[in-house]
Chain A
Amino acid sequence: MLCQNCHEREANVHIAKTVNGQTQNLYLCEQCAKKVQGANFMFQPGLIVPDFLQALFGFSPESAPQQEQACPRCGMTFSQITRAGKLGCSVCYEAFGPQIESLVRRIHGGGQHVGKIPGRKGAALKGKVELKRLKDELQALVRQEKFEEAAITRDRIRQLEQGAGG
C-alpha cells in the first residue's frame, strides 16, 4: 500500500487513533509519519487540519524568515498560507508555484487535472484535450494493427489541427 499522505512511498507505519471511541487507521511512510507525529496531529479521517499542512512543510513559526515574499494579488506570505491551511487567492497558486505543487502532490498524489473543463473559459482547452485523446487513440489503434480505423482517427486529428491553426 502507498503512503496515504504523500502517495509516493510505500506505507510502513500504521497509526491508530481513537476518537470518540472509534478507532481510525492511518498508513504512512516513515518520513510522513515523523512529520505527522511531530506536529501533535489529531487524526480524523477526511480532515486535514492546518497543523497537518504545517507538518507537511516542516513549518514552525520560529523558523519563518523575517522578510518573506508575498503574493502580488492578495499579499499573503507562504507562512501565512501554511498557518491558515488556505491560499489567499488564485494568484497564490502561481506566486508560490513549487511549494504549492509539492503540497498538492502530497495531498492528492501527483496527478494533473483530468476532470471537467469549464465551457466558456475552457473552449480552447477542450480542443487541446480532444486532440490529445485522439492521438492516444491513434497510437492504440496502430498498435492493434487496426489501420482502417486509425486512418479515420488520423483524418480527424488533421481536421482539428487545421481548424485550430486557421
Chain B
Amino acid sequence: MRKPPLHAIGSVSWNKVRGGEKMERKDLLLRRSAWMEETDRSTVVLSSRIRLARNLEDMPFPHVMSAELAQKVEEKLVRTLETVTVEGEKLTYLSLGDLTPIERQVLTEKHLISPALVNSPAGRGAALAADHRVAVMVNEEDHIRLQTLLPGNQLEETFRLADALDDALEEHLDYAYREAQGYLTACPTNVGTGLRASVMVHLPALAMTNRIQQVLGALAPLGLAVRGLYGEGSQAFGHIFQLSNQITLGKSEADILAHLGAVTGQIVEHELQARAALQEHALLALEDKVWRARGTLEKARLLTSEDAMHLLSHDRLGVDMGILPKPQRTFASLLVESHPGCLQYVLNKELDAGQRDAERAKFIREAFVPQADS
C-alpha cells in the first residue's frame, strides 16, 4: 500500500471534524504554519519573528479600556484590517470571544497570539494570514501588535513583511507617535520603534557540552533577552531558546536587526562548533543518544510533553548531523502540534493528562514510521 503524503495525517483529521460553518475557522487554525516549515536556513535557527507595537492616538491603551470601548476599537481596527492585503492576500479576523478555550490554546501554542490576549477576550482578537506568517493582535497590551513569523534565519525578510503591512495600516489609522519618543506604547519598555525582533534557536550540542549557560549568559550585557519556547518564564525544554532585543529606543530598526543578526550568527557558530566537537570526540556516545531518542519516539506508547520535547531535540540533532533519516514532519511541527491544545483540537475532544500522553505518543509515532522507498 502507498504511504500517505507528508500532510496526510493532518488532512485526514480535518475531514473527520468537517461540518458546517465552523469549517473555515478549523481549516485556518489547523493549517501548517509557514514558520514550521524547514528551509536551507533552518539548521539551529528554526524561525524568525518580528513584532511591532502600535497604538491609536485618540484612545486609551487597552488595559484601561472598558469592554465597550475595547469593542469600539476592535470594530475600527477590523474594518481597517479588512481593507489591507499581505502580498495580495486578505487576512481573516478571529474574535477571541467567538473561540473555544481549546481554539485559543491552539493559537497560543502556534505562537499566533499571546497568553495575555487569551486572559481577557472582550474586544480582543487576531487577524491571520492563511499560512500564519502574519498575525495582527487587536487590543493586547497595545491596540495593535503586528507580528510576522517566517521559518529559518531570515530576520530581514520577516521585518520587510511587517513593515509593509504597518505602512498599509497607517494609511487608515492615526498612530500615537512623537518625534522624540517614536511610537508610543502602553509599556515604556517598547516605546520608540515598538520593535521586538526575535529568533528561535535550537542549541542541543551546547547543552550536551555544558556550555549553554556560558553562551546565553553573555547575552544580557549585549542587550538581548533569552526566553524558552513559550515565552517569559517558560523553561527551555527541547533546548529551544528565543533571543530578542530589549532596547527599542535610540536605535533604528536596521541597527536592532543587524545586532540581533550578528549575535545570532555567533551563537549558531558556537552550536556548530560544539556539534563538530561531539562528532570528533564522542561520536559513538552521540550516535547512541540520538538513536535511543529515535527508538523511543518510534515505539513509545506514552509521552509527556517534556519527554517528547527532550527526545525530539536529540532526534533533530541526529537528523541535522546526518546520523538519522528525516521524520515525516518538521521539528517545529512535531514540537508545537504535540502540545495539549493542538492534540485535542485535531481529535476534536477533551483529553485528560494520561490520554494526552497516549495521543501525543501516537501522533509522534505516525511521523516516525520508517518511509518505504518511493
Which residues of A line the B interface, CB within 8 A?
Answer: 1, 4, 19-20, 22-27, 44-48, 53, 73-74, 76, 84-90, 93, 100, 103-104, 107-122, 125, 128
Contacts and interface: CB of A to CB of B under 8 A. Distances in A.
Interface stretch (B175-183, B264-272, B314-322, B366-374): B175-183
Contacts of A107: 188-189, 247, 249
B249 A111 contact: yes
Contacts of B183: 113, 116, 118
Contacts of B181: 93, 104, 112-113
Max chain A C-beta neighbours (<10 A), residue from B186, B226, B248, B249: B249
A123 to B, nearest CB: 11
Given A119-B171, A121-B175, A113 B60 contact: no
Contacts of B141: 86
A46 B61 contact: no
Task: Describe A's contact surface by its main secondary structure.
Answer: loop
Contacts of A120: 170-171
A89 B64 contact: yes
Given A27-B221, A116-B253, A88 B226 contact: no
Given A84-B63, A104-B249, A119-B171, A20 B187 contact: no
Max chain B C-beta neighbours (<10 A), residue from A20, A45, A53, A90: A90
Contact of A113 (B167, B170, B179, B213): B179
A28 B225 CA distance: 16
Nearest to B235: A20
A155 B59 CA distance: 43
B170 A119 contact: yes
B156 interface: no
Interface in B296-326: none
A89 B188 contact: no
Given A45-B227, A90-B176, A119-B170, 10 more contacts: A27-B220, A47-B232, A53-B188, A74-B60, A88-B64, A109-B247, A112-B250, A113-B249, A118-B170, A120-B171
Nearest to A25: B217
Nearest to B55: A90
A105 B175 CA distance: 22
A25 B218 CA distance: 8
Contact of A86 (B61, B180, B219): B61
7 contacts: A1-B221, A25-B220, A45-B226, A46-B244, A46-B246, A104-B181, A114-B251
Contacts of B163: 116
Contact of A48 (B55, B166, B179, B189): B189
Nearest to B169: A118
Q: Give 10 closest A-B pairs by Cβ, nearest first.
A: A111-B250, A46-B225, A113-B182, A90-B176, A115-B193, A108-B249, A89-B60, A74-B60, A86-B186, A90-B184
Nearest to B187: A86
Contacts of A73: 60
Contacts of A86: 61, 63, 141, 186-187
B252 A114 contact: yes
A141 B120 CA distance: 56
A44 B232 contact: yes
Interface string B147-167: 000000000000000010011
A113 B180 contact: yes
Given A20-B235, A22-B213, A115 B253 contact: yes
B195 interface: yes
B19 interface: no
A48 B189 CA distance: 8
Contacts of A118: 170, 175, 177, 183
